[in-house]
Amino acid sequence: MALPDLDNHDGRIHYYELLLEADITAMAELPLPNGYSFAFYQQGDRDAWIDIEKSAKEFDSREEGLKAWKQFFEVIEGELPRRMVFVVNGAGEKVATATALFDVRGKDQSGDAWLHWVAVRREDQGKGLSKPLITHVIQVMKELGYTRAKIPTQTTTWLACKIYLDLGFRPIEKNLIRNQMGWRIIKRLTGHPVLSALEAAGDEEVLASPKMTIDILTIFPEMFDSVLSASIIGRAREQGLIDVSAVDIRPYSTAKHKNTDDYPFGGGAGMLMMAQPIADCMKAVCKKRGVPCADRTQTNSEQTKIKRIYLSPRGVQLTQQLAQELSKEKNLILLCGHYEGVDQRALDKYIDLEISIGDYVLTGGELGAMVLLDCVARLIPGVLGSEESPQDESFSGDGLLEYPQYTRPREFEGMAVPAVLLNGDHAKIAAWRREQAILETAKRRPELLRTAALTEKERKKLSLTLKEE
Protein backbone atom coordinates (compact mmCIF):
# COMPACT_ATOMS: atom_id res chain seq x y z
CA MET A 1 0.00 0.00 0.00
CA ALA A 2 1.15 3.57 -0.70
CA LEU A 3 1.18 6.08 2.13
CA PRO A 4 -1.25 9.02 1.88
CA ASP A 5 -0.11 12.60 2.39
CA LEU A 6 0.45 12.95 6.12
CA ASP A 7 0.13 16.03 8.35
CA ASN A 8 2.73 16.94 10.96
CA HIS A 9 0.15 16.04 13.65
CA ASP A 10 -1.52 13.02 12.05
CA GLY A 11 -3.55 10.54 14.10
CA ARG A 12 -3.49 8.02 11.27
CA ILE A 13 0.13 7.17 12.09
CA HIS A 14 0.74 4.27 14.45
CA TYR A 15 1.30 5.89 17.86
CA TYR A 16 4.54 5.39 19.80
CA GLU A 17 5.97 7.62 22.53
CA LEU A 18 9.52 8.77 21.74
CA LEU A 19 12.17 10.38 23.91
CA LEU A 20 15.26 12.24 22.70
CA GLU A 21 18.20 13.85 24.51
CA ALA A 22 21.18 16.05 23.73
CA ASP A 23 24.19 17.76 25.26
CA ILE A 24 23.22 21.40 24.76
CA THR A 25 26.45 23.11 25.83
CA ALA A 26 27.62 23.77 22.26
CA MET A 27 24.21 24.16 20.60
CA ALA A 28 24.02 27.51 18.78
CA GLU A 29 20.98 29.75 18.48
CA LEU A 30 19.40 30.22 15.05
CA PRO A 31 17.89 33.60 14.09
CA LEU A 32 14.17 34.22 13.67
CA PRO A 33 12.84 35.36 10.28
CA ASN A 34 12.38 39.12 9.87
CA GLY A 35 9.30 40.52 11.57
CA TYR A 36 9.30 38.10 14.51
CA SER A 37 10.63 38.42 18.06
CA PHE A 38 10.75 36.49 21.33
CA ALA A 39 8.90 37.25 24.55
CA PHE A 40 8.81 35.53 27.92
CA TYR A 41 5.57 34.57 29.61
CA GLN A 42 3.69 37.32 31.40
CA GLN A 43 0.70 36.95 33.69
CA GLY A 44 -2.39 36.51 31.56
CA ASP A 45 -0.63 34.62 28.73
CA ARG A 46 -2.38 31.34 29.58
CA ASP A 47 -5.06 31.88 26.94
CA ALA A 48 -2.47 32.66 24.25
CA TRP A 49 -0.67 29.41 25.11
CA ILE A 50 -3.92 27.43 24.88
CA ASP A 51 -4.84 29.05 21.55
CA ILE A 52 -1.45 28.17 20.01
CA GLU A 53 -1.51 24.57 21.25
CA LYS A 54 -5.12 24.11 20.11
CA SER A 55 -4.31 25.53 16.67
CA ALA A 56 -1.38 23.06 16.43
CA LYS A 57 -3.82 20.19 17.18
CA GLU A 58 -2.55 19.42 20.66
CA PHE A 59 -6.12 19.89 21.92
CA ASP A 60 -9.59 19.75 20.43
CA SER A 61 -11.13 22.13 22.93
CA ARG A 62 -10.34 24.93 25.32
CA GLU A 63 -11.39 22.69 28.20
CA GLU A 64 -8.64 20.20 27.33
CA GLY A 65 -6.14 23.06 27.16
CA LEU A 66 -7.17 24.30 30.59
CA LYS A 67 -6.72 20.80 31.98
CA ALA A 68 -3.19 20.54 30.53
CA TRP A 69 -2.30 23.99 31.86
CA LYS A 70 -3.51 22.98 35.30
CA GLN A 71 -1.53 19.75 35.21
CA PHE A 72 1.77 21.16 33.97
CA PHE A 73 1.99 24.86 34.77
CA GLU A 74 -0.45 25.99 37.41
CA VAL A 75 1.66 25.11 40.45
CA ILE A 76 4.86 26.47 38.90
CA GLU A 77 3.41 29.63 37.36
CA GLY A 78 5.99 31.67 39.25
CA GLU A 79 8.70 29.91 37.19
CA LEU A 80 7.13 30.64 33.80
CA PRO A 81 8.44 34.22 33.31
CA ARG A 82 11.93 32.71 32.96
CA ARG A 83 11.00 29.39 31.32
CA MET A 84 8.09 29.82 28.88
CA VAL A 85 8.92 31.52 25.58
CA PHE A 86 6.63 32.88 22.86
CA VAL A 87 7.32 33.94 19.29
CA VAL A 88 5.55 37.23 18.52
CA ASN A 89 4.73 38.43 14.99
CA GLY A 90 4.79 42.00 13.70
CA ALA A 91 1.17 42.54 14.73
CA GLY A 92 2.00 41.65 18.34
CA GLU A 93 0.30 38.25 18.17
CA LYS A 94 1.82 35.28 19.97
CA VAL A 95 2.13 32.58 17.30
CA ALA A 96 4.47 29.90 18.73
CA THR A 97 5.63 28.68 22.12
CA ALA A 98 7.96 26.28 23.94
CA THR A 99 8.98 25.85 27.57
CA ALA A 100 12.30 25.08 29.29
CA LEU A 101 10.78 22.80 31.89
CA PHE A 102 11.81 19.86 34.06
CA ASP A 103 10.18 16.47 34.61
CA VAL A 104 7.04 17.66 36.41
CA ARG A 105 6.17 14.11 37.52
CA GLY A 106 9.47 13.80 39.38
CA LYS A 107 10.43 10.46 37.82
CA ASP A 108 13.58 11.68 36.05
CA GLN A 109 16.42 11.84 38.57
CA SER A 110 19.04 13.08 36.08
CA GLY A 111 18.36 16.77 36.67
CA ASP A 112 18.13 17.38 32.91
CA ALA A 113 15.95 20.10 31.40
CA TRP A 114 12.85 18.98 29.48
CA LEU A 115 11.72 20.81 26.36
CA HIS A 116 7.92 20.72 26.53
CA TRP A 117 4.93 21.81 24.48
CA VAL A 118 6.69 23.03 21.34
CA ALA A 119 3.94 24.38 19.08
CA VAL A 120 3.51 26.79 16.18
CA ARG A 121 0.14 28.22 15.26
CA ARG A 122 -1.18 26.37 12.22
CA GLU A 123 -1.25 29.41 9.92
CA ASP A 124 2.36 30.22 10.83
CA GLN A 125 3.76 26.74 10.23
CA GLY A 126 6.26 26.45 7.39
CA LYS A 127 7.65 29.95 8.02
CA GLY A 128 10.91 28.83 9.63
CA LEU A 129 9.94 29.47 13.25
CA SER A 130 10.43 26.04 14.87
CA LYS A 131 14.22 25.73 14.86
CA PRO A 132 14.89 29.31 16.04
CA LEU A 133 12.30 28.85 18.79
CA ILE A 134 13.81 25.57 19.99
CA THR A 135 17.39 26.85 19.91
CA HIS A 136 16.35 30.00 21.76
CA VAL A 137 14.74 27.93 24.51
CA ILE A 138 17.96 25.87 24.59
CA GLN A 139 19.83 29.10 25.39
CA VAL A 140 17.31 29.76 28.16
CA MET A 141 18.05 26.30 29.55
CA LYS A 142 21.79 27.03 29.54
CA GLU A 143 21.21 30.30 31.37
CA LEU A 144 19.25 28.34 33.98
CA GLY A 145 22.29 26.10 34.48
CA TYR A 146 21.33 23.04 32.45
CA THR A 147 23.84 21.20 30.26
CA ARG A 148 21.58 18.45 28.90
CA ALA A 149 17.99 18.40 27.68
CA LYS A 150 15.31 15.83 26.89
CA ILE A 151 12.36 16.10 24.49
CA PRO A 152 9.27 13.86 24.80
CA THR A 153 7.40 13.47 21.52
CA GLN A 154 5.55 10.85 19.47
CA THR A 155 5.41 9.31 16.01
CA THR A 156 2.22 11.22 15.15
CA THR A 157 4.29 14.44 15.11
CA TRP A 158 6.91 13.00 12.78
CA LEU A 159 7.98 16.30 11.20
CA ALA A 160 8.79 17.65 14.65
CA CYS A 161 10.94 14.54 15.21
CA LYS A 162 12.90 15.40 12.07
CA ILE A 163 13.53 18.92 13.39
CA TYR A 164 14.80 17.58 16.72
CA LEU A 165 17.14 15.16 14.94
CA ASP A 166 18.38 17.95 12.66
CA LEU A 167 19.26 20.05 15.71
CA GLY A 168 21.36 17.30 17.27
CA PHE A 169 18.94 15.48 19.56
CA ARG A 170 19.22 11.69 19.52
CA PRO A 171 16.96 8.85 20.65
CA ILE A 172 17.54 7.80 24.26
CA GLU A 173 18.88 4.25 24.14
CA LYS A 174 16.20 2.71 26.36
CA ASN A 175 13.48 4.35 24.32
CA LEU A 176 15.10 3.24 21.08
CA ILE A 177 15.03 -0.36 22.33
CA ARG A 178 11.54 -0.24 23.85
CA ASN A 179 9.87 1.62 20.99
CA GLN A 180 12.06 0.55 18.09
CA MET A 181 9.05 0.28 15.79
CA GLY A 182 8.30 3.93 16.52
CA TRP A 183 11.78 4.94 15.42
CA ARG A 184 11.50 2.70 12.36
CA ILE A 185 8.36 4.65 11.46
CA ILE A 186 10.28 7.93 11.82
CA LYS A 187 13.00 6.44 9.58
CA ARG A 188 10.37 5.59 6.94
CA LEU A 189 8.75 9.03 7.05
CA THR A 190 11.86 11.22 7.29
CA GLY A 191 14.70 9.09 5.91
CA HIS A 192 16.91 10.81 8.49
CA PRO A 193 20.56 9.66 8.26
CA VAL A 194 20.87 9.50 12.07
CA LEU A 195 18.58 6.46 11.93
CA SER A 196 20.54 4.71 9.17
CA ALA A 197 21.18 1.65 11.36
CA LEU A 198 17.44 0.97 11.57
CA GLU A 199 15.33 -0.79 8.98
CA ALA A 200 12.58 1.53 7.79
CA ALA A 201 9.05 0.45 8.68
CA GLY A 202 6.92 -0.89 5.87
CA ASP A 203 4.08 1.31 4.64
CA GLU A 204 1.56 -1.08 6.21
CA GLU A 205 3.32 -0.66 9.58
CA VAL A 206 3.17 3.14 9.53
CA LEU A 207 -0.59 3.58 9.53
CA ALA A 208 -2.48 2.55 12.64
CA SER A 209 -5.42 0.23 12.68
CA PRO A 210 -7.84 0.91 15.55
CA LYS A 211 -6.49 -0.39 18.84
CA MET A 212 -10.03 -1.33 19.81
CA THR A 213 -13.48 -1.61 18.27
CA ILE A 214 -16.52 -0.97 20.45
CA ASP A 215 -20.03 -1.67 19.17
CA ILE A 216 -22.92 -0.49 21.32
CA LEU A 217 -26.18 -2.38 20.77
CA THR A 218 -29.13 -0.16 21.64
CA ILE A 219 -32.67 0.76 20.64
CA PHE A 220 -31.76 4.44 21.06
CA PRO A 221 -28.57 4.98 18.97
CA GLU A 222 -29.26 8.71 18.72
CA MET A 223 -28.40 9.04 22.43
CA PHE A 224 -24.74 8.47 21.51
CA ASP A 225 -24.41 11.13 18.79
CA SER A 226 -22.77 13.83 20.94
CA VAL A 227 -20.81 11.36 23.09
CA LEU A 228 -19.12 9.82 20.05
CA SER A 229 -18.32 13.11 18.34
CA ALA A 230 -17.11 15.31 21.21
CA SER A 231 -14.04 15.68 23.40
CA ILE A 232 -11.58 12.83 23.92
CA ILE A 233 -13.77 10.09 22.40
CA GLY A 234 -14.42 12.17 19.28
CA ARG A 235 -10.73 12.96 18.86
CA ALA A 236 -9.70 9.32 19.34
CA ARG A 237 -12.20 8.21 16.68
CA GLU A 238 -11.00 10.92 14.31
CA GLN A 239 -7.39 9.80 14.79
CA GLY A 240 -8.30 6.16 14.18
CA LEU A 241 -7.30 5.02 17.67
CA ILE A 242 -10.72 3.50 18.39
CA ASP A 243 -13.64 2.50 16.19
CA VAL A 244 -16.90 3.06 18.06
CA SER A 245 -20.40 2.74 16.64
CA ALA A 246 -23.92 2.67 18.06
CA VAL A 247 -25.90 -0.12 16.39
CA ASP A 248 -29.70 0.02 16.29
CA ILE A 249 -31.22 -3.29 17.38
CA ARG A 250 -34.67 -2.58 15.89
CA PRO A 251 -33.89 -3.39 12.21
CA TYR A 252 -32.91 -6.93 13.28
CA SER A 253 -36.36 -7.70 14.67
CA THR A 254 -38.38 -10.18 12.62
CA ALA A 255 -41.63 -8.81 14.06
CA LYS A 256 -43.95 -7.09 11.64
CA HIS A 257 -43.60 -3.69 13.30
CA LYS A 258 -39.95 -4.18 14.25
CA ASN A 259 -40.71 -4.11 17.95
CA THR A 260 -38.00 -5.43 20.25
CA ASP A 261 -40.05 -6.05 23.43
CA ASP A 262 -42.91 -8.24 24.65
CA TYR A 263 -44.76 -9.17 27.84
CA PRO A 264 -42.84 -11.45 30.25
CA PHE A 265 -44.02 -15.03 30.78
CA GLY A 266 -45.44 -15.46 34.27
CA GLY A 267 -46.73 -11.91 34.38
CA GLY A 268 -45.26 -8.88 36.05
CA ALA A 269 -44.98 -5.19 35.40
CA GLY A 270 -43.47 -3.78 32.25
CA MET A 271 -42.04 -5.25 29.06
CA LEU A 272 -38.98 -7.39 28.33
CA MET A 273 -36.52 -7.13 25.45
CA MET A 274 -36.82 -10.19 23.18
CA ALA A 275 -33.91 -12.54 22.53
CA GLN A 276 -34.24 -12.77 18.72
CA PRO A 277 -33.43 -9.14 17.74
CA ILE A 278 -30.52 -9.06 20.18
CA ALA A 279 -29.10 -12.37 18.97
CA ASP A 280 -29.34 -11.45 15.29
CA CYS A 281 -27.84 -8.00 15.90
CA MET A 282 -25.00 -9.58 17.92
CA LYS A 283 -24.28 -12.08 15.13
CA ALA A 284 -24.25 -9.33 12.49
CA VAL A 285 -21.78 -7.21 14.46
CA CYS A 286 -19.48 -10.19 15.07
CA LYS A 287 -19.56 -10.98 11.37
CA LYS A 288 -18.69 -7.36 10.53
CA ARG A 289 -15.72 -7.56 12.89
CA GLY A 290 -14.61 -10.87 11.40
CA VAL A 291 -14.92 -12.86 14.62
CA PRO A 292 -17.14 -15.82 15.55
CA CYS A 293 -20.23 -15.16 17.67
CA ALA A 294 -19.80 -18.07 20.08
CA ASP A 295 -22.83 -19.71 21.65
CA ARG A 296 -21.89 -20.07 25.32
CA THR A 297 -24.46 -22.81 25.86
CA GLN A 298 -22.69 -25.09 23.37
CA THR A 299 -19.55 -26.80 24.70
CA ASN A 300 -18.18 -27.31 21.18
CA SER A 301 -18.89 -23.73 20.12
CA GLU A 302 -16.08 -21.85 18.39
CA GLN A 303 -14.09 -19.67 20.82
CA THR A 304 -15.16 -16.03 20.70
CA LYS A 305 -12.55 -13.33 20.07
CA ILE A 306 -14.81 -10.51 21.16
CA LYS A 307 -15.89 -9.56 24.69
CA ARG A 308 -19.68 -9.25 24.82
CA ILE A 309 -20.89 -7.18 27.79
CA TYR A 310 -24.39 -6.54 29.13
CA LEU A 311 -24.89 -3.41 31.26
CA SER A 312 -26.87 -4.76 34.19
CA PRO A 313 -27.54 -3.83 37.86
CA ARG A 314 -26.74 -7.43 38.82
CA GLY A 315 -23.34 -7.39 37.09
CA VAL A 316 -19.89 -7.10 38.62
CA GLN A 317 -19.01 -3.59 39.77
CA LEU A 318 -17.10 -1.45 37.29
CA THR A 319 -13.72 -0.58 38.81
CA GLN A 320 -10.56 1.01 37.47
CA GLN A 321 -8.89 -2.39 37.53
CA LEU A 322 -11.68 -3.93 35.45
CA ALA A 323 -11.50 -1.00 33.03
CA GLN A 324 -7.75 -1.56 32.64
CA GLU A 325 -8.34 -5.24 31.86
CA LEU A 326 -11.01 -4.38 29.27
CA SER A 327 -8.75 -1.76 27.65
CA LYS A 328 -6.47 -4.62 26.55
CA GLU A 329 -9.25 -6.28 24.55
CA LYS A 330 -9.33 -5.90 20.77
CA ASN A 331 -13.12 -5.92 20.37
CA LEU A 332 -15.97 -5.09 22.74
CA ILE A 333 -19.73 -5.30 22.28
CA LEU A 334 -21.88 -3.45 24.82
CA LEU A 335 -25.55 -4.46 25.06
CA CYS A 336 -27.88 -1.82 26.48
CA GLY A 337 -30.96 -3.26 28.12
CA HIS A 338 -34.24 -1.37 28.43
CA TYR A 339 -37.72 -1.74 29.85
CA GLU A 340 -37.66 -4.44 32.56
CA GLY A 341 -34.58 -6.19 31.18
CA VAL A 342 -33.59 -8.81 28.62
CA ASP A 343 -34.79 -12.34 27.91
CA GLN A 344 -32.37 -14.53 29.89
CA ARG A 345 -31.76 -16.83 26.91
CA ALA A 346 -30.03 -14.02 24.98
CA LEU A 347 -27.75 -13.45 27.95
CA ASP A 348 -27.00 -17.15 28.49
CA LYS A 349 -26.04 -17.63 24.85
CA TYR A 350 -24.30 -14.43 23.80
CA ILE A 351 -23.09 -12.48 26.83
CA ASP A 352 -19.65 -13.08 28.35
CA LEU A 353 -19.77 -10.54 31.17
CA GLU A 354 -22.38 -8.43 32.98
CA ILE A 355 -21.21 -5.09 34.40
CA SER A 356 -22.90 -2.65 36.78
CA ILE A 357 -21.79 0.96 37.17
CA GLY A 358 -23.36 1.25 40.62
CA ASP A 359 -26.05 0.14 43.03
CA TYR A 360 -28.89 2.16 41.55
CA VAL A 361 -31.43 1.76 38.75
CA LEU A 362 -31.44 3.61 35.42
CA THR A 363 -34.08 3.63 32.69
CA GLY A 364 -31.78 1.79 30.30
CA GLY A 365 -28.22 0.63 29.78
CA GLU A 366 -27.25 3.51 27.49
CA LEU A 367 -25.90 5.77 30.24
CA GLY A 368 -23.98 2.84 31.72
CA ALA A 369 -22.50 2.10 28.30
CA MET A 370 -21.35 5.72 27.99
CA VAL A 371 -19.63 5.53 31.37
CA LEU A 372 -17.93 2.24 30.47
CA LEU A 373 -16.91 3.56 27.05
CA ASP A 374 -15.27 6.67 28.50
CA CYS A 375 -13.61 4.77 31.34
CA VAL A 376 -12.07 2.15 29.03
CA ALA A 377 -11.25 4.30 25.99
CA ARG A 378 -9.12 6.80 27.93
CA LEU A 379 -6.82 3.94 29.01
CA ILE A 380 -5.99 2.97 25.42
CA PRO A 381 -2.48 4.22 24.50
CA GLY A 382 -2.60 7.48 22.57
CA VAL A 383 -6.19 8.41 23.42
CA LEU A 384 -5.20 10.92 26.09
CA GLY A 385 -2.12 12.03 24.15
CA SER A 386 1.52 11.92 25.14
CA GLU A 387 1.31 14.82 27.59
CA GLU A 388 -1.64 13.49 29.54
CA SER A 389 -1.72 10.38 31.64
CA PRO A 390 -4.37 8.47 33.58
CA GLN A 391 -1.73 7.24 36.01
CA ASP A 392 -2.05 10.16 38.45
CA GLU A 393 -5.83 9.97 38.72
CA SER A 394 -7.95 8.45 41.47
CA PHE A 395 -7.91 4.63 41.63
CA SER A 396 -4.98 4.43 39.17
CA GLY A 397 -1.55 2.96 39.81
CA ASP A 398 -1.22 3.06 43.59
CA GLY A 399 -4.94 2.69 44.32
CA LEU A 400 -5.32 6.07 46.06
CA LEU A 401 -7.78 8.89 45.53
CA GLU A 402 -6.43 11.97 43.80
CA TYR A 403 -4.88 14.78 45.83
CA PRO A 404 -6.64 18.20 46.19
CA GLN A 405 -5.98 20.66 43.37
CA TYR A 406 -6.15 24.45 43.11
CA THR A 407 -6.25 27.09 40.40
CA ARG A 408 -6.30 30.88 40.29
CA PRO A 409 -6.86 33.11 42.18
CA ARG A 410 -4.35 32.39 44.94
CA GLU A 411 -6.92 33.47 47.51
CA PHE A 412 -10.66 32.87 47.30
CA GLU A 413 -13.10 34.09 49.96
CA GLY A 414 -10.40 34.04 52.62
CA MET A 415 -8.97 30.63 51.61
CA ALA A 416 -5.41 30.55 50.28
CA VAL A 417 -3.70 28.00 48.06
CA PRO A 418 -1.25 25.83 50.09
CA ALA A 419 2.14 27.58 50.06
CA VAL A 420 4.03 24.46 48.97
CA LEU A 421 2.30 24.61 45.58
CA LEU A 422 3.62 28.10 44.90
CA ASN A 423 7.33 27.69 45.57
CA GLY A 424 8.33 25.90 42.34
CA ASP A 425 10.06 23.04 44.20
CA HIS A 426 8.65 20.07 42.28
CA ALA A 427 10.11 17.48 44.67
CA LYS A 428 8.30 19.06 47.63
CA ILE A 429 5.14 19.43 45.54
CA ALA A 430 5.23 15.73 44.61
CA ALA A 431 5.73 14.76 48.29
CA TRP A 432 2.84 16.99 49.40
CA ARG A 433 0.54 15.55 46.75
CA ARG A 434 1.42 12.01 47.77
CA GLU A 435 0.74 12.79 51.44
CA GLN A 436 -2.57 14.48 50.62
CA ALA A 437 -3.68 11.59 48.40
CA ILE A 438 -3.11 9.19 51.31
CA LEU A 439 -5.02 11.44 53.73
CA GLU A 440 -7.93 11.97 51.33
CA THR A 441 -8.22 8.21 50.80
CA ALA A 442 -8.15 7.57 54.55
CA LYS A 443 -10.91 10.10 55.18
CA ARG A 444 -13.19 9.36 52.24
CA ARG A 445 -12.58 5.75 51.19
CA PRO A 446 -10.62 4.03 53.99
CA GLU A 447 -11.36 0.57 52.59
CA LEU A 448 -9.08 1.37 49.63
CA LEU A 449 -6.06 1.53 51.94
CA ARG A 450 -6.17 -2.24 52.45
CA THR A 451 -4.84 -2.77 48.93
CA ALA A 452 -3.17 0.61 48.25
CA ALA A 453 0.55 0.65 47.45
CA LEU A 454 1.84 2.32 50.63
CA THR A 455 5.24 1.91 52.21
CA GLU A 456 5.50 0.83 55.84
CA LYS A 457 6.76 4.32 56.71
CA GLU A 458 3.70 5.89 55.04
CA ARG A 459 1.32 3.59 56.91
CA LYS A 460 2.93 4.44 60.27
CA LYS A 461 2.82 8.18 59.53
CA LEU A 462 -0.84 7.92 58.53
CA SER A 463 -1.69 6.06 61.70
CA LEU A 464 -0.07 8.78 63.83
CA THR A 465 -1.80 11.56 61.85
CA LEU A 466 -5.24 9.96 62.28
CA LYS A 467 -4.66 9.48 66.03
CA GLU A 468 -3.76 13.15 66.39
CA GLU A 469 -6.97 14.16 64.65
Average pLDDT along the chain = 90
* Superfamily in which the 17-206 domain is placed by CATH: Gcn5-related N-acetyltransferase (GNAT) (3.40.630.30)
Kindly give, in sequence order, each residue whose CB lies less than 8 Å from that of residue 191, ignoring residues fewer than 6 positions away.
Answer: 200
pLDDT at 98 over 80: yes
Give residue 259's pLDDT.
93
For the chain, give every domain's residue range: 17-206, 212-377, 413-468
Mean of the pLDDT values across residues 308-333? Answer: 95
- Which CATH code fits 212-377? 3.40.1280.10
Give residue 333's pLDDT.
98
- Which CATH code fits 413-468? 1.10.1270.20
Per-residue pLDDT reduced to its tens digit, 52-74: 999 998 887 888 899 889 888 98
pLDDT band, residue 8 (cuts 50/70/90): confident
Q: Which segment, 33-42, 220-229, 268-277, is predicted with the most confidence on average? A: 33-42
Per-residue pLDDT reduced to its tens digit, 303-320: 678 999 999 999 999 999
pLDDT band, residue 145 (cuts 50/70/90): very high
Please give the model's pTM, rounded to 2 decimal places: 0.58
